Structure 1
Amino acid sequence: MKDQFIAEHHIYQLLQQVGINTPKHVFWDHHNLASLKSALLGSFTDNSPVVLKGMADNLWHKSENGALHFTSFQYEKIMDDSIQMQQRVSSQFDWIGSLLTEKVNFKTAQGAPCEIFVSIQRDKCCGSIIHMGFGGVLAEDWAKQLKDPILLWPTSVYQPQEALQELKNHWLGKILLGQTRLDKPLLNEKALFEFLIQLWSLDEIMENNHIQLIEVNPFVVDQQGELVALDGVGLISENSHQESCSVPFEDQSFLHPKRIALAGVSDKKGNIGRMILENIAHSKLQHENILIIKPDRETYQGYHCLTSVEDLQAVPVDVLILALPAKITIEMIEQLCHQNTAYQIKGTKVVYIVAGGIGDGADLLGYGDRLKKFIQQKRANNQWCPAIVGPNGLGMLLSPLQLNTLFIPQKKLNVKFSENSHVALISQSGAFLITRLSRNSNLSLKYGFSIGNQMDMKMSDFIALMYRDKSVRVLGLYVEGFVEGDVCAISKLVKQFRQQDRHVIIYKGGRSLLGQTAAAGHTGAMTGDYLLQKRLLGKAGSVMVETFNQFNTVFKWMTAYPDLKELGKLAIITNAGYETVGSVDSLGDNDSHVLYTLNDENRKNLTKILESHQLNGLVSPCNPLDLTPMANEKAYYDCIEALFKFGAGVIIVGLVPLSEQLDTFQLSEAEQFALRLKKLAQQTQSLIGIVIDAGVPYQQYKAVFEEQGFPVFDGMDMAILGINVLKNCN
């Protein structure tokens, strides 16, 4: 179906259905000319101010195309003007008819904009979004002057009451409610709230009528204090948003599989299947519950072999891993799903596809389309089909089973398992997953998933899986593309995470045009409007990061403190002058307010502590606090303890280990210091981050603090970066 333009007179009808006020108006075309005169004379009095508008197909901007005329009502003159307007507009657009409205006398604010822009858009990727900002002909100019010119409310995760609170804190809401200097209110809070409710109701009508867009610019407040829509357009489209459907699967099949089968194992050097098998062999799975599909062998390295996937009917598994070329992988899935439907027990609950070249830039033979159509047909016909992960999936990590299905050798990546971990990481890129583990040797994941191209199992399916496991407090996501409609589903899940004080950190790749091209070639990623995605996911409560450094630092802070509810004021303590200077430079003038401000009493008490350590002549009691290289662990601890008592909630501790005062080689004092800091952080329910800006000889010194669970950074700027991101997110 071709997209269909909605002209203003029809927009008025839609608005009136939900009780939104429109100007008094009369529309006419060649069908209602007989009753036109009586309609006009019954609606308008002579010489009353009116606005004549031309309605034409795809005429989005009337004033720029000669379709808008302010005048006074005189019947004959209006008819002449409308004929001239039709002739003028018809040369460029398909004419629909004429619309005459009253000229609304609206309230104004002193020296401030008071017209409102509203757009409701049903985006294919993100669902329904209500935008609100300053309207009128100067809308774009005002937007350039404001940090957050447009308020944005995804209706899937926001309700009118929540929107009202944000609007009241925005300049638009302050002007409307008279909360700016010298201004009187244009309307009351009750009327504003009722208007928001009407917008949510309008969104429901749009969904039922396949309306993709309604845009009104502007709304104004009339002399009675009621909002009135002056100008509007819209669009009908059959291709509007459809939220993604979840894939049916059992949580236990993913998180606690009892039996696994693997296809694609051989004795060839570098064989991916064999590397996966070697990793699986170290898991808690019973030997007999690891099966190999290999038609020419009865056993392989002591594991029982099956001749084909059809044999899985007799010995069904939870997970089938296919480490095979693309063509054979597709054929094996088709064979698996075509098994005799008389069997109630199917061969597997989950299929994990390792191969690339299926639905990505390397797929030149249409394997991706073939597999996608096959899965869709099975699901549409209510026929059995396992949950399919991938293609291009590197593997998964399950700490409860110490299960590693990655095709990375243990000597390259020694995965640290921990059943008590509260952290999970889901990544479209397998390389992103393993490099986070490699660069952070202290990171232990409860679950890690490389999900590849999302041909069947989508990002939202995995997030829902993690949401249902309440032990997961921190969830990191690396996304290159969202499946259509999945952003909306993910936003709902993120909001549910945040309602339980659980945390979601998201890096979205493929934001630039070049990045989109690279993502499509790598994982066949579907991209979209990143700004819209960012605002939707951010408003739902996720921490949206823009760089890998941001992800690494935020993830490190959050994994160390998974129960974090809010950040307190920041204090910085170090033994190097460059770190005190660099820390405030990293904060910048705009974020310097996050530093805890010492009062006179604080300074007095801190001076006493410095005197007790014979540092009073060297150190000034301030924040950041430069203890100089003369400070030992005891001086550090006493100052840190005092800063927490004063009221700081986060302390970054810079330890340049080249000082002779610090125990950086024997490590007995360092270990005692780290243990005392851990107890202090627990007692005060506060955050401590450690910065050790030094080279290879001090890796063991860093490990002392990592073993106590502290986030350890290589530079002060990295520690500050994470705090900055967390402070500035929702």
Structure 2
Amino acid sequence: MLSKIIKPVYKVEKIIKSPIFAHSFIFAHSFSSGFFKKTSLFGNFANDTKKEIEKYLAKGCEQKDGLLKEHEVYDVLSLAGMQSPFHQFFDCRETSGETSAEKIRKFQERCDPSKIYIAKGVVRYKKTGLLVTHKTEIGALMFGVKYHDLPDAIAKMEGKFRGTEFELEGILFAEMVDFPKGFGGEFLLSGYQDPFFGPCVAFGLGGTTVEYFKKKMRPNNAQLFLPTMYDFSTFEDQIKRLPLTELSTGLVRGVKKNLETETIFKTIETFRSLISHYSAYNPDADYVIEEIEVNPAVASHSRILALDGVMRVRKKNAGELMQIKSMKPLHKIRHLLCPKTVAIAGASSTGTNNPGNIILSKLLKKGIAKEDIYLIHPKAKEINGISCYKTVTDMVRKRGNNPVDMMLVGIPAKFAGQMIMEAINEHAAESLSVISGGFGETERGEKIQKALEETLEKYDSNPKKRSVINGPNTVGNICVRYDVDAQKEYSGIETVFTEKQKSSATGKGSPNVALFCQSGAYMLSRMSDLADLVAPSVAVSVGNQMDLSAIDFLEHFLPSKSITTYALYIEGLNKGDGIRLMSLIQKARDLGKFVILYKAGQSEAGISAAKGHTAAMANDFGMFKHLMSHSGALIADSFLQYNQLMITTSRLTSLYSQLNAIPKDSKVSVAALSNAGFEKCAIADHLFNEESLKYCKLPNWSSETLRELQGIFKKFRIGEVVDLQDILDLTPMMTDDGYDMIMRAVLKDPNVHFAIFSAVPETQTLLTLENEFPKKGSLYHRLVNLKKEFGDKKSFVVVIESGPKYDAICKALIQAGIPTFRSADEASWVVSKLISSIRRD
């Protein structure tokens, strides 16, 4: 979990002034609610307290491993606000001219005769100088030491390590405290610098069984992992609902109360303040606490005490500062997607089917003039009437040292690396698209990529001269419409190196979607799978994310006037991109926009596969899913769900305003109906889960609606067969006309906020076949009319079961702007996700 997070950037003030990212730092000064509203992002340490803490941190930095001794950890925690048992440290190396007996006598005077102690040897390896953190394995623990036995305990510990590979620096004598055994008495508390999410706090079950319970318990029930750069007040309810908190605060029947909730909050705040203040994100910090862990901490006499402590620290590097807002010149993405001048390395003078030639052909068809295209080729003088240059330098000199907008590199990695390096140093292009593979995926290529990344970092402080790079291993990009700039809209290009006739994509469908994928094949297959239904105005394959990441593209396109859904496929994260993504998702929600995520590497096998694909950084999927869901992302567990979410969100563009008009203390009322009993069960089973139950419910029909529904049931003679229930059963006897009357009654009910209309179409009473639904009065036409009448006021989705005979009506409904599913469980799952995402705090 630890890594050196080194990134020279601009000052934090620039982020705070940014309108797009203001939300990311608002909570740094004033949390929105609850206990943590009283705290600041980087802690509330007084200057004197900081000076004392940093004396200990400086000591840690003097050690090879950066580790503080356990009693020093206790002292730092005490300064930050957490208590530890009474303890005294006996320094075995201290020489003051005293006899050993006199030294021990003076030490004993500092100890409390009424207490019983545990003796912990502070031991280092002689060969390496590294601190031994697992004392049990080397026998550096002694339990039940009484006051009068202290001299004997010191002698035994010194004798044990005399003449061994270990050096005994001293012995920590800590009071053995009473605490409740079992659940609710022991805790794990830690802080660490996560390479993706920044400073984080972990809180949960402690003791020796913690790993066992993490495997056996439901996700996020054994422990919580909480990024401190995100609005920490939003985690309060999760902390309260954690089984450990409920057990320790006496909320479980038959379990004794050991602590107040506020005591838990205060202890977590100690770790949050320390790990945030001493992080690469704090411009005023001189040190970085890489990790701090107490396992166990225990409940004792209404306090939480640290019974163990590990802390690793390092000096912060010069210029090291991480920020939530990208410091890359992302405005140059426009040059990548909408270039006026292009350079290509990789076009062939003899063939036409290689990637470089296919892309060249697409650029010419798009209307880019030959004189604005520059080909780099070691031998050819011209290709297709376009001049060639032997090197990148030759090309840029020809242009009077003015960079082209975009340079495409499609040559083998062993040559591409040197060419990209030349392009960066010569500032030959504002942006580069690297379709070459073999970089991060191979050991040799990884070295080349690392060198390129280090070269790019040198230009971070000079954004005018810094290029942005997409790839390596990208299949290219498609940009139909670019409207990020407030003043002007641009038409983009396509650099996908596959031939158009191989794709099922038609360019028709909802254009209000952006697709950013780490897998190019995934991007292309989404566009083919959703042909005629979704046609993203921007689709980018980010490949290895050597420079630009999917999160960078999300940040850049978030202000787009036309895009309302952002769909991301992620195999790995770049440094700091986890916390950035959380903040961007929250910003998207503030703007009434959707962010859909599919994260590869959800299992051990999946992690292994992702590693070998686009050089993805594998990380904990459970933590990723929890944190992204918390910030409001729509997490797809399958490709089918991903497609369904894209179709649905691209059509329900008014859903945010509709649901946010409902008072916060009220639940979203979801009406549902079907002509098949099994679908009623499926809707109830999949609409409601532990999460969605907090946000949605079935409707309480108004008296007027009840009367109207009863009249319709009577008219169509189904009242004799079924009762009027929360989820309406229309039976296979219901006609198109009856469906229309009931759906209208449902949507008119002021107590209904959303609806699921389902039909198993294999009944003679409904016009649903391909040759039937175009007829006037069919269910299709009635649903389209309802969409026109109620679309801006209330949203609904439709379910049409029963296989390929009904593909035509489903496709027609989707093209008419109505999200339509092939099964009730899938529809209910999507609705549940949407409501939970929009309504969560």
TM-score, L = length of structure 1: 0.85
Q: Answer whether contact 2:337 2:493 (CA < 8 A) is retained.
A: no
CA distance in 2, matches of 1:271, 1:608: 68
Decide which of 786, 790, 812 is 1:677's aligned counterpart.
Answer: 786
Q: Does 1:377 align with 2:455?
A: yes
CA distance in 1, matches of 2:65, 2:669: 52
CA distance in 1, matches of 2:687, 2:784: 29
The runs of 5 or more residues in structure 2 that have no matched partner are 1-62, 95-99, 125-130, 280-285, 482-490, 660-666
1:33-69 CA-to-partner distances (Å, cap 9, x unmatched) read 655533432341x343433333334554556765444
CA gap of 1:599–1:415, structure 2 versus 1, over 3 A, is: closer
**1:297: Cα distance to partner?**
6.0
| Residue type at the aligned position of 2:395 | D
Alignment of 1:701-720 (within 5 A): 701-720=809-828
Q: Does 1:40 align with 2:108?
A: yes
Counterpart in the other structure of 1:450? 541
Alignment of 1:617-656 (within 5 A): 617-644=720-747, 645=749, 647-656=751-760
Counterpart in the other structure of 2:557? 466
**1:216: Cα distance to partner?**
1.0
CA distance in 2, matches of 1:591, 1:334: 49
Q: Does 1:53 align with 2:120?
A: yes
**1:443: Cα distance to partner?**
0.6
| Residue type at the aligned position of 1:115 | E
Counterpart in the other structure of 2:395? 311
Q: Answer whether contact 1:573 1:652 (CA < 8 A) is retained.
A: yes
Counterpart in the other structure of 1:433? 523
1:596-653 CA-to-partner distances (Å, cap 9, x unmatched) read 2666956654232223344434554335444344333332232223334274444333
Q: Does 1:276 align with 2:346?
A: no
**1:451: Cα distance to partner?**
0.6
CA gap of 1:649–1:37, structure 2 versus 1, over 3 A, is: farther
Q: Does 1:81 align with 2:153?
A: yes
Counterpart in the other structure of 1:406? 496
1:420-473 CA-to-partner distances (Å, cap 9, x unmatched) read 843211101111111111111211213211011112223332222123436433
Counterpart in the other structure of 2:26? none
**1:402: Cα distance to partner?**
5.5
Count of residue correspondences: 711
Decide which of 513, 523, 526 is 1:423's aligned counterpart.
Answer: 513
- What secondary structure does 1:443 align onto? coil
Q: Does 1:232 align with 2:335?
A: no
**1:281: Cα distance to partner?**
4.7
Alignment of 1:231-250 (within 5 A): 231-236=308-313, 243=322, 246-250=327-331
Counterpart in the other structure of 1:342? none
CA distance in 1, matches of 2:625, 2:689: 25
Counterpart in the other structure of 1:212? 290
| Residue type at the aligned position of 1:10 | E
CA distance in 1, matches of 2:195, 2:539: 29
Q: Does 1:124 align with 2:195?
A: yes
Deviates more, 1:239-248 or 1:599-608: 239-248
CA distance in 1, matches of 2:790, 2:261: 44
CA gap of 1:534–1:19, structure 2 versus 1, over 3 A, is: same
Counterpart in the other structure of 2:73? 11
CA gap of 1:146–1:355, structure 2 versus 1, over 3 A, is: closer
| Residue type at the aligned position of 2:304 | L
Q: Answer whether contact 2:692 2:836 (CA < 8 A) is retained.
A: no
- What secondary structure does 1:709 align onto? coil
CA distance in 1, matches of 2:74, 2:257: 26
Superposition RMSD on alpha carbons, in Å? 3.9
Q: Answer whether contact 2:336 2:432 (CA < 8 A) is retained.
A: no
Q: Does 1:386 align with 2:467?
A: yes
Counterpart in the other structure of 2:240? 168
CA gap of 1:728–1:98, structure 2 versus 1, over 3 A, is: farther
Q: Does 1:257 align with 2:339?
A: yes
CA distance in 1, matches of 2:167, 2:757: 69
**1:185: Cα distance to partner?**
6.2
CA distance in 2, matches of 1:591, 1:4: 42
**1:118: Cα distance to partner?**
0.5
1:318-358 CA-to-partner distances (Å, cap 9, x unmatched) read 2222333434533443443454xxxxxx5421110112223
| Residue type at the aligned position of 2:353 | G
Decide which of 596, 600, 624 is 2:698's aligned counterpart.
Answer: 596
Counterpart in the other structure of 1:291? 373
Q: Answer whether contact 1:120 1:215 (CA < 8 A) is retained.
A: yes
CA gap of 1:574–1:420, structure 2 versus 1, over 3 A, is: closer
Q: Does 1:480 align with 2:539?
A: no
Q: Answer whether contact 1:211 1:235 (CA < 8 A) is retained.
A: yes
1:236-287 CA-to-partner distances (Å, cap 9, x unmatched) read 578999858643342432454344444434463533233324444554x554
Counterpart in the other structure of 2:269? 197
Decide which of 649, 662, 666 is 2:767's aligned counterpart.
Answer: 662
Q: Answer whether contact 1:655 1:693 (CA < 8 A) is retained.
A: no
Q: Answer whether contact 1:319 1:350 (CA < 8 A) is retained.
A: yes
**1:104: Cα distance to partner?**
4.0
CA gap of 1:74–1:575, structure 2 versus 1, over 3 A, is: closer
Counterpart in the other structure of 1:343? none
Q: Answer whether contact 1:47 1:72 (CA < 8 A) is retained.
A: no
Counterpart in the other structure of 1:149? 222
CA gap of 1:262–1:377, structure 2 versus 1, over 3 A, is: closer
CA distance in 1, matches of 2:631, 2:689: 28
| Residue type at the aligned position of 2:204 | G
CA distance in 1, matches of 2:212, 2:455: 51
Decide which of 160, 169, 173 is 1:100's aligned counterpart.
Answer: 173
TM-score, L = length of structure 2: 0.74
- What secondary structure does 2:502 align onto? coil
CA distance in 1, matches of 2:801, 2:211: 47
CA distance in 2, matches of 1:93, 1:539: 47
CA gap of 1:451–1:183, structure 2 versus 1, over 3 A, is: same
CA distance in 2, matches of 1:429, 1:24: 56
- What secondary structure does 1:404 align onto? coil
| Residue type at the aligned position of 1:521 | G
| Residue type at the aligned position of 1:652 | I
**1:718: Cα distance to partner?**
2.8
CA gap of 1:67–1:656, structure 2 versus 1, over 3 A, is: same
- What secondary structure does 2:743 align onto? helix
CA distance in 1, matches of 2:590, 2:161: 53
Q: Does 1:114 align with 2:214?
A: no
CA distance in 1, matches of 2:826, 2:218: 29
CA distance in 1, matches of 2:781, 2:300: 70
CA gap of 1:273–1:615, structure 2 versus 1, over 3 A, is: farther
Q: Does 1:326 align with 2:413?
A: yes
CA gap of 1:439–1:227, structure 2 versus 1, over 3 A, is: same
CA distance in 1, matches of 2:263, 2:620: 33
| Residue type at the aligned position of 1:95 | L
Q: Does 1:609 align with 2:712?
A: yes
CA distance in 2, matches of 1:682, 1:38: 82
CA distance in 1, matches of 2:314, 2:625: 24
CA distance in 2, matches of 1:31, 1:68: 19
1:651-693 CA-to-partner distances (Å, cap 9, x unmatched) read 3333444444215425143553232231355243333244344
Decide which of 586, 603, 617 is 1:526's aligned counterpart.
Answer: 617
- What secondary structure does 2:811 align onto? helix
